[in-house]
């Protein structure tokens, strides 16, 4: 039997997603989340000697908002 699945098993059933940074809790636009200044780089997108790994150099992260 042939199987034309492509990619890695981890991709099965996963919706297309944007690349999230470590500081993000969800994709931009996700209900109940919003942008916030990255607390690692304080919005600069950079730390000591390079791009901030927490926000990926954007200076912003996606975090949960509201009391849900």
State in angstroms the smallest separation of the CB of 26 from Zn ion: 17
State in angstroms the smallest separation of the CB of 33 from Zn ion: 17
Residue 55 or 62 with smaller CB distance to Zn ion: 55
Instruction: Give the footprint of Zn ion on this chain (CB under 5 A).
Output: 38, 40-41, 52, 54-55
Instruction: State how far the Cα of 9 lies from the Cα of 4, in Å rounded to an integer.
Output: 12
State in angstroms the smallest separation of the CB of 52 from Zn ion: 3
- Residue that is written with structure tokens 């509201």 in the block: 66
List the one residue out of 59, 57, 64 whose CA is nearest residue 30.
Answer: 64
């Amino acid at each position: 039997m042939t199987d034309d699945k492509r990619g890695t098993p981890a991709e099965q059933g996963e919706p297309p997603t944007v690349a999230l940074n470590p500081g993000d809790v969800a994709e931009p636009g996700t209900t109940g989340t919003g942008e916030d200044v990255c607390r690692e780089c304080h919005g600069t997108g950079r730390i000591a000697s390079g791009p901030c790994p927490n926000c990926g150099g954007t200076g912003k992260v996606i975090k949960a908002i509201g009391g849900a």
